[in-house]
Amino acid sequence: MSYALVIFLSAFLLFLVQPLIAKQILPWFGGSAAVWGTCLLFFQTVLLAGYAYADAVNRWLSMHRQVLLHGVLLLIAAALMPIIADQSWRPLGTEEPIGRILGLLIATIGLPYFLLATTTPLIGAWYWRRHQSSVPYRLFALSNFASLLALIGFPFLVEPFFGNRETAWIWSALFVLFALLCFALGRSTASYASGRVESVAAEPNNPAGTGSEAATVTPSNVLKVDWIRWILLSATGTVILLAVTSHLTQNISSAPLLWVIPLAIYLITFIISFDHPRWYVRAVYLPLAGLLLPTMAWLSQSLDLMLVTPIYACGLFVLCMVCHGELARLKPHPARLTAFYLSISVGGALGSLLMAVLAPIMLDGYFDLYLALVFASLVALLLPVGSNAGVQRKIRGLMLFVVGTVGTLSWVGIGDYMSGVRFMERDFYGVVRTRDNPTGSDFRSLIHGSISHGGQLLDPKLQMTASSYFGPTSGYGRLFGSLPDRPRTVGVIGLGAGALAVYARPGDHWVFYEISPAVVRAAQKEFTFLDKMSGTHEIVLGDGRLSLDREKPRQFDVLAMDAFSGDSIPTHLITKEAMEIYMKHLKPDGVIILQATNRFVDLMPVARNLADAHGLSLVLVSDSPKFDDGPEYWLSMTDQVIMTRNKALLESSLIRSGSQEIPKNPNVPMFTDDYINLIRLLK
């Protein structure tokens, strides 16, 4: 029971800290979906290091030396509590983000996470040393069950009631408890092992060192069990997990809820597969995988997430069930326990490296999902399919058909993705493309992720026409049409194509805050808004909120928040602390306008709370241009919120005629850097 308790607590803490620390640092890196992918790379790599440590000490150190070394490390880690990221790691905006995130994670949770990562294989080996039974693999299922509880509990039980700092302190206290229990268990096991060695040595027919507990794992032992398949199957599960997670977070929001649901599905398959062989039925899961792989490739460009999301969730479950079910079928004798776990962690780290680092470097566009699906179908060809030659040929033929279908659909999808693309560049914050759409008069769109974020009419006479989300009847159009006719200072968080610059007037000074260098290059190379705009402008590279926090008060007449990634919301821009920064830069009668257009999340209650906290009045302008009565195809439906102390401005005829009140929602509390809960905002 004590072994199970320590493994349960360690796995619970191991997966609770993942969304906790990622949520702490997400605002520092622009709310990018890539933050979670980089964090997973760290988690998988440190997990590999932990499993390698467990394998090494189990091979080369006596039980007493294992406990001594592990105890010292646990003591050092406990002294490093609490796990709260130091403010000195906040970026200035010009740093390479992946390296900085990895350094931050190492400094903040490196040693505690490493020690938690060692627990399942190390305690499993201690259990085997003491009890000599096959239960260690059931302990692996138990650890994944604890991990699942932590993941599900974070968005539904932790986030709604506790802030980041409170959760960090609670986690730190539980880690100290874990350290004490783990050390006590090690001492108990070492004492038992010493007594057992003495007892065995006293038996004339059983010399010390020949018992089963003395079994070692050599390279030749490992090669007897197909360790390449262990690594590939583990890597495939991780690759599919990261691809599906990235696809969802780019189009909805990079937030703990959408991090943990795919990861929870991934862990459920581990639990089911390693609990008992009866749960993984090859005759069911392999055909389902063969059906879902092409389906996922076919739907990869669909924006109907209400349809796509459940299909991708099912696909993630089935594909991970195959990977982990096959791993369970191939598991070795418990004497090779740590080598098996080490191979699984090698695969996980390689999968994370491929998706979080290599894919962005190798691929200009977002082809990660296609890469993952093709990779999974190819790995399936390496699965053992029985000894009957006729059956083997049929199954291999079906597998080759699936590979060909997935490859063909992926090629077609990539072709559609690239069709008409003039400019494409990828950085840490996503993929930026431009595309010309000839519909009447040509219109060039800026596409970030899978969502168009503004564009420009190409007719030289129409290039400075208000378009896309910024038409004359949008919130932006009504606001700028109602402002006094005098020079203005305007701040814009999120450059996009630069389309808002059509509202600039002579004498104006505009400041664009943009986190993505690729977006800046696209705006300057592919669009003429910045070149043709009236007044002057400057571009500040870096996260808009962090940049404003470092600057002296700008005294903006208007501060526009238009920063999005795909259709994802950078939630760190809509917290109480963020609003305080904005107010520092706003004139007493200045205006904040928020782009609140979103298919999945209702931002109106959040905007109302922010306005109320600072004595601002606010209205919502919902613009639905009519596409049937004229050539307004370049306009988009929008929801934009205008906030100001200047009530007379909101009563102007242009704004009043197209606006509506935003009611207070008592069920949505104020969002802070310490507390954000998107569940209550889902439409």
Nearest to 255 by CA among 23, 453, 587: 23
**Structure-block tokens of residue 119:** 């627990």
- Residue 525: predicted pLDDT: 96
- Residue 225: predicted pLDDT: 46
d(CA 627, CA 636): 10
- Residue 537: predicted pLDDT: 97
Residue 248 pLDDT greater than 80, yes or no? no
d(CA 310, CA 474): 34
Whether residue 112 contacts residue 77, with contact meaning beta carbons closer than 8 Å, is answered with: yes
Mean pLDDT value of segment 602-623: 93
Mean pLDDT value of segment 404-428: 91
Shared domain check, 595 and 470? yes
Supply the range of the domain harboring residue 619. 430-681
Whether residue 588 contacts residue 645, with contact meaning beta carbons closer than 8 Å, is answered with: yes
Nearest to 167 by CA among 674, 575, 671, 570: 674
Give a yes or no: residue 524 inside a domain: yes
Distances (CA, A) of 595 to 182, 250, 569, 612, 644: 51, 17, 10, 18, 15
- Residue 3: predicted pLDDT: 83
**Structure-block tokens of residue 65:** 């030396």
Label residue 300 by pLDDT band (50, 70, 90). confident
Mean pLDDT value of segment 417-426: 90
d(CA 598, CA 18): 27
What lies within 8 Å, CB to CB, of 172 at 6+ separation is 81, 82, 83
Shared domain check, 466 and 349? no
Shared domain check, 677 and 543? yes
DSSP string over 556-607? EEEEEE---BTTB--GGGGSHHHHHHHHHTEEEEEEEEEE---SSB--HHHH
Where is mean pLDDT largest: 47-56, 274-283, 620-629?
Answer: 47-56
Residue 678 pLDDT greater than 80, yes or no? no
Shared domain check, 7 and 77? yes
- Residue 556: predicted pLDDT: 97
- Residue 440: predicted pLDDT: 54
Helix and strand element counts for the chain (H, E): 23, 12
Residue 634 pLDDT greater than 70, yes or no? yes
Q: Is 664 exposed, middle or buried (0-12, 13-18, 19+ CB in 10 A)?
A: exposed
483-529: per-residue pLDDT in tens?
998 999 999 999 999 999 999 999 999 999 998 899 999 999 999 99
What lies within 8 Å, CB to CB, of 245 at 6+ separation is 36, 37, 258, 259, 262, 263
Give a yes or no: residue 200 inside a domain: yes
Give a yes or no: residue 425 inside a domain: no
Where a domain ends, among 385, 419, 453? 419
Whether residue 367 contacts residue 247, with contact meaning beta carbons closer than 8 Å, is answered with: no
What lies within 8 Å, CB to CB, of 176 at 6+ separation is 78, 81
Residue 222 pLDDT greater than 50, yes or no? no
- Residue 509: predicted pLDDT: 97
Nearest to 116 by CA among 50, 21, 19, 184: 50
Residue at token pair 């089911």: 272
d(CA 314, CA 310): 6
Which range, of 16-30, 209-223, 641-655, averages the lowest pLDDT? 209-223
DSSP code for 555: -
- Residue 417: predicted pLDDT: 87
d(CA 449, CA 251): 7
Give a yes or no: residue 112 inside a domain: yes
Nearest to 15 by CA among 111, 149, 108: 149
Shared domain check, 498 and 359? no
- Residue 216: predicted pLDDT: 41
**Percent share of the chain, pLDDT over 70:** 86
CB atoms inside a 10 Å sphere around CB 683: 7
Identity at 361, one-letter amino acid code: I
Residue 374 phi, psi dihedral angles, 5° rounding: -65, -40
Label residue 196 by pLDDT band (50, 70, 90). low
Shared domain check, 319 and 204? no
DSSP code for 540: E
> Comparing 153 with 135, which gets the higher pLDDT?
153
**Percent share of the chain, pLDDT over 90:** 45
525-571: per-residue pLDDT in tens?
999 999 999 999 999 998 888 899 989 999 999 999 987 544 556 77
306-352: per-residue pLDDT in tens?
788 889 999 999 999 999 999 988 887 766 766 787 888 889 889 98
Shared domain check, 250 and 164? no
Give a yes or no: residue 65 inside a domain: yes
Shared domain check, 495 and 395? no
- Residue 305: predicted pLDDT: 66
- Residue 566: predicted pLDDT: 43
Which range, of 38-52, 172-186, 259-273, 669-683, averages the lowest pLDDT? 669-683
Whether residue 280 contacts residue 318, with contact meaning beta carbons closer than 8 Å, is answered with: no
> Comparing 289 with 34, which gets the higher pLDDT?
289
- Residue 683: predicted pLDDT: 65
CB atoms inside a 10 Å sphere around CB 79: 9
Distances (CA, A) of 604 to 320, 622, 646, 661, 668: 38, 12, 20, 10, 10
Q: Provide the mean pLDDT of the chain.
A: 84
Shared domain check, 630 and 499? yes
Shared domain check, 518 and 369? no
Q: How many whole angstroms from its chain centre is CA 4?
A: 30
- Residue 172: predicted pLDDT: 96
d(CA 184, CA 77): 16
Label residue 420 by pLDDT band (50, 70, 90). confident
Give a yes or no: residue 457 inside a domain: yes
Whether residue 603 contacts residue 681, with contact meaning beta carbons closer than 8 Å, is answered with: yes
CB atoms inside a 10 Å sphere around CB 277: 12
Give a yes or no: residue 129 inside a domain: yes
* DSSP H/E element including 455: strand 451-457
d(CA 419, CA 393): 38
Can the peptide bond before residue 82 be classed as cis, meaning omega within 30 degrees of 0?
yes
Where a domain ends, among 185, 214, 243? 214
Residue 201 pLDDT greater than 70, yes or no? no
Provide the sign of the torsion angle of the four alpha carbons 146, 149, 150, 152, taken in this order.
positive
The count of domains in the chain is 3
Q: What is the pTM of this model?
A: 0.78
d(CA 213, CA 218): 15
Shared domain check, 590 and 675? yes
Mean pLDDT value of segment 237-249: 87
Identity at 199, one-letter amino acid code: S
Q: What is the CATH number of the domain that holds 478?
A: 3.40.50.150
603-612: per-residue pLDDT in tens?
899 999 999 9
**Structure-block tokens of residue 123:** 């305690």
Angle in degrees, 0-180, between the axes of helices 337-353 and 227-251, rounded to the nearest 10? 40
Give a yes or no: residue 372 inside a domain: yes
Pairing of strands 441-448, 451-457: antiparallel
Residue 20 phi, psi dihedral angles, 5° rounding: -65, -50
d(CA 418, CA 64): 61
Q: What does the chain come to in residues?
A: 683
Label residue 438 by pLDDT band (50, 70, 90). low
Alpha helices (H) along 154-255: 164-201, 219-224, 227-251
Where a domain ends, among 190, 214, 238? 214
> Comparing 512 with 133, which gets the higher pLDDT?
512
DSSP string over 98-134? HHHHHHHHHHHHHHHHHHHHHHHHHHHHHHHHHH-SS
> Comparing 437 with 661, which gets the higher pLDDT?
661
Residue 207 pLDDT greater than 50, yes or no? no
Mean pLDDT value of segment 185-211: 56
Using only C-alpha atoms, the chain has a radius of gyration, in whole angstroms, of 28
- Residue 199: predicted pLDDT: 45
361-372: per-residue pLDDT in tens?
888 888 999 999
Q: What is the CATH number of the domain that holds 163?
A: 1.20.1250
> Comparing 228 with 599, which gets the higher pLDDT?
228
- Residue 380: predicted pLDDT: 85
Task: Tell me the CA end-to-end span of the chain in Å, nearest whole number.
Answer: 45
d(CA 514, CA 139): 48
Label residue 476 by pLDDT band (50, 70, 90). very high
Shared domain check, 498 and 591? yes
> Comparing 225 with 622, which gets the higher pLDDT?
622
- Residue 219: predicted pLDDT: 41
